[in-house]
Chain A
Amino acid sequence: MKTKWYLQLLVYAVIIMGALAFLFPFVYMILTSFIKSAYSLPRPKEIFSVVPNLDNYFLVWNKNNFARYFLNSSLVTVVSMVGSMLLGCLTAYGFARFQFPGKELLFRVFLLTTMIPGVINIIPQFLIIKNLGLVSTYWGLWLIYIGGGVVGSTFFLRGFFQSIPKEYEESVLIDGGGNWRIFWNIYLPQSLPAIGTLAVLSFQGTWEEYFTALVIIKDEAMRTLPIALLMFNDKYATNYGWVFAASIIALIPTVFLYVVFQKKFVQGGFNEGGVKG
């Protein structure tokens, strides 16, 4: 089927306009990050004629404990990502492969919680962490992130686990292996793309999480990057060169992960659950 050239042109015009609308603000942000100590709003003319340099990036990295907050965030994110994956895989496996009394009920309770926005739990979650004496500790954050995220990852992974043919298990059963061997040797390796996708989503979610971290972490030295970014913004409000240099550094890990894993991605919802397209 040959499409007329002017229709092709029209289609390209629309999708390129769309692409520019998404790309241009990023370009503007990156250009602004090169502007030196602007104490008033930099003019668009200055921004478009700026010479690229990394001065602001070095400056920001060494300012206000930024490097420290970057490491804090790395620790919080990696531990909670690994914990979430582990718990998500185990629970999804339990729901996908086992029959047990009350499974339907438990499943329905899980499903019910997905229909209620998680943000409303933040007050009681804070009170629980307070009762456990874990305010201003990373344990407090990890418990909320991992415990609160199990349902989402379970639903995401369960679908993939269920699509694994039962016959694969036979080789393990013949070798005398049990449920754990089936889990490690069949289910995990067979679902690596799904687990990888979920890991990246979990990384991003935790890396940029602000509201829970702000409530739980009271100690300034333990702050995570999003909190630091917002405080930095409040402190140097008009110095957009610094604010955007800091922001871009904070974006690098997530963007890097997406670029590396892009081709292996399976589709997921932005709230929870997934479709296999």
Chain B
Amino acid sequence: MSIPLASQPQTGNKPPAATRMKKGFKQWMAVLPFIFLGVLGTAVFVVYPMIRNIIISFQDYSIMPNAENPFVGFENYISAFTDPNNKVLMAIRNTILNVIVTVPINWLLAIVFAVLINLHFVKYKLVFRTVYYLPIITSWIVVAFLFRFLFAGGEYGLINFIFYKVLGIFPEPVNFLSNYWTAMIVIWLFHIWKTVGWGVVIYLAGLQGISKEYYEAAQIDGASGIKQFWSITVPMLAPVTAFVIINLVNGAFNFFPQVYFITRGGPMDQTQTLPSLMYMQAFKNFNFGYASAVAVMMGITVFLVTYTQMKKFGNQKML
């Protein structure tokens, strides 16, 4: 040992602030090359935009160069709620409906299909999984073309053809996209059809993660298939269910391509949701302040919903 121990500073139990800072600095130097670009990108294109959104929502914003963009207080928010056409209130109402209608159906279909496909006697599991997943890998735009085509008005749209011409259930061909409720139904069916496969695949993965030993033990105890489902499958899937529900609720809260590609918010802005309303107000009508106010309200709502769900379900297996 040639290094004299005595020359090292006597630090006691706690290293002094200077040493800690030096250590922290060294740690930062080591990690910085790896995270620098990622953190910069996130700061510029995710975090800063969120702050900027809040600022713009209090401005009378114009994209003209050298515009003054005066601050107008809560005017954008007030006009969002006092608009005679009630566009924002309508969008909020639609968002609530979208969640209430699609989440339970989506979830139920996903778990039922997954459990059935996973039954031990079912052959060609991979084929079923692939077919159920097809709508997920298809782009929103193309599926929207398809649904607009299937639900086309007049007697030769396939749905009208089946329910009006062949079965005679509709008294006359339905113009689905020009009435509020029928347009909403098309939007819901579109969303459910497009996303059920995701839940099925997630549940299938979850089901395959349950050890066979539980079922074997239950069988020795003489538990029936249905009993096994309720006392083994359902509780073991709880973390997956939490993950699926949070994603489904988030998905239903953010209907955007669903509305934009099917109805463009029509008829008369009645089927708008907050994201589609925001987008069209900003880039079609150039109401940036108003659109940002919508964005901020939406951001806060979705954040609160997601946050409470995560708190409720615990952070199990998430992320």
Interface residues of A (CB under 8 A from B): 1, 3, 8, 11-12, 14-15, 18-19, 21-23, 25-26, 28-29, 32, 41-44, 87-88, 90-91, 93-95, 98-101, 106, 109-128, 130, 143-144, 146-148, 150-151, 154-155, 159, 179, 183, 204, 207-208, 210-211, 214-215, 226, 229-230, 233, 240, 243-244, 247-248, 250-251, 254-255, 258, 262, 267, 269-271, 273-275, 277
Contact = CB atoms under 8 A, between A and B. Distances in A.
Contacts of A18: 109, 113, 132
Contacts of A155: 319
B150 interface: yes
Contact of B52 (A87, A124, A247): A124
Contacts of A101: 24, 27-28
A117 B254 contact: yes
Interface in B271-317: 275, 278-279, 282-283, 288, 291-292, 295-296, 298-299, 302-303, 306-307, 310, 317
A151 B122 CA distance: 39
A119 B299 CA distance: 9
B40 to A, nearest CB: 8
A219 to B, nearest CB: 16
Counting chain A CB atoms within 10 Å of each CB, the highest count among B121, B138, B198 belongs to B138
A14 B247 CA distance: 25
Interface in B87-132: 109, 112-113, 116-117, 119-122, 128, 130-132
B169 interface: no
Contact of B201 (A11, A15, A143, A267): A267
A270 B206 CA distance: 16
B32 to A, nearest CB: 8
Contacts of A117: 250, 253-254, 275, 298-299, 302
Contacts of A204: 137, 139
B195 interface: yes
A43 B149 CA distance: 11
Interface stretch (B3-11, B43-51, B73-81, B180-188): B43-51
B193 A41 contact: no
A118 B209 CA distance: 32
Contacts of B45: 121, 125, 128, 143-144, 147-148
Given A28-B158, A117-B302, A273 B319 contact: yes
Contacts of A3: 119-121, 225
13 contacts: A3-B120, A11-B119, A19-B132, A22-B132, A93-B34, A101-B28, A112-B303, A119-B275, A123-B282, A124-B53, A147-B42, A148-B41, A267-B205
Contacts of B138: 26, 251, 254-255
Given A90-B34, A147-B41, A147-B44, A15 B128 contact: yes
Contacts of B257: 210
Contacts of A19: 128, 131-132
B149 A111 contact: no
Contacts of B262: none
Contact of B34 (A99, A109, A130, A183): A183
A243 to B, nearest CB: 6
B46 A121 contact: yes
A9 to B, nearest CB: 11
Contacts of B279: 119, 122, 211
B257 to A, nearest CB: 7
Contacts of B208: 277
B282 to A, nearest CB: 5
B145 A247 contact: yes
Contacts of A271: 247, 250-251
A129 to B, nearest CB: 9
Which 9 pairs from chain A and chain B are nearest by CB?
A277-B205, A91-B38, A147-B41, A147-B45, A124-B49, A208-B139, A94-B34, A94-B35, A120-B295
Contacts of A274: 319
Contacts of A254: 137-139
Contact of B319 (A41, A106, A159, A229): A159
A270 B120 CA distance: 28
B202 A275 contact: yes
A268 B37 CA distance: 24
Nearest to A101: B24
B238 interface: no
B247 to A, nearest CB: 5
Nearest to B131: A19
Nearest to A114: B319
Contacts of B158: 28, 44
B240 to A, nearest CB: 7
Contacts of B53: 120-121, 123-124
B277 to A, nearest CB: 11
